[in-house]
Amino acid sequence: MRHIMVMNAKGGCGKSTLATNIASYFADAGYGVALADYDPQRSSIDWLERRPSNRPAIAGLEAYKDGLRHAPRGADILVIDAPARSHGKELTDLVRHAETIVVPVLPSTIDMQASDRFIKELKAVGKIDRKEAKIGVVANRVREYTLIFEELDEYLTSARVPYIAALREAQNYIRAYTRGLGIFELPEYLAWPDWEQWEPLTRWLRSVRSQP
């Protein structure tokens, strides 16, 4: 089973949004998918409870209560939604469960500063330093042609971590979450710009570049 974790110590940067969308992307592609929520806020579990029964099923794990013990044996991919404020030993323990780590970062000075510290801490974790887990960063809630997005883009380009994709700020993400869907499960005429922006992220996740 492959483990893809979405994490950033900074709150509100899009961890649950990315985790639910990655899970539904792989479920739609025919993989057996489980979604583990390490956050007692349960955003990913709440999303799963909203998921219509006619969509490819995703197993939910309340990992904040009992870890990954109940992970279904048959699952191909386990997507893990990590909680905010993970540092130190908690961070190292979480990283132990992942081979691929996706780090969303918002275009805001506060978020970029906090994420810079987080990325440095993450890169110092032994498993990542030894390249037994791969990190990729994703700019999230981006508004093109804004100064702050230019700053984020420059920062991520120079941060010496793979900069995988930039996702725009869009109501589609809120719409999809509310309906228990992923962005790929919205109608094409609404979501095609988001599908295009996700392409480099899904390509990276499918490639060996995101795996140790």
Ligand X SMILES: Nc1ncnc2c1ncn2[C@@H]1O[C@H](COP(=O)(O)OP(=O)(O)OP(=O)(O)O)[C@@H](O)[C@H]1O
Binding site for ligand X (CB under 6 A): 11-17, 39, 41, 43, 84, 140-141, 167, 169-170, 173-174, 177
Asked if 43 is part of the footprint of Mg ion (rule: CB under 5 A), the reply reads yes
| Partner touching 136 among ligand X, Mg ion, none, CB below 5 to 8 Å by kind | none
Asked if 12 is part of the footprint of Mg ion (rule: CB under 5 A), the reply reads no
Q: How far is the CB of 14 from ligand X (least distance, A)?
A: 4
Q: How far is the CB of 105 from ligand X (least distance, A)?
A: 10
Asked if 16 is part of the footprint of Mg ion (rule: CB under 5 A), the reply reads yes
Contact partners, residue 96, CB within 8 Å, separation at least 6: 127
Q: How far is the CB of 44 from ligand X (least distance, A)?
A: 8
7 or 112: whose CB is closer to Mg ion?
Answer: 7
149 or 173: whose CB is closer to ligand X?
Answer: 173
| Partner touching 3 among Mg ion, ligand X, none, CB below 5 to 8 Å by kind | none
Binding residue for Mg ion, selected from 3, 10, 15, 134, defined by CB under 5 A: 15
Residues binding Mg ion: what is the number (CB under 5 A)? 3
Binding residues (CB under 5 A) for Mg ion: these are 15-16, 43
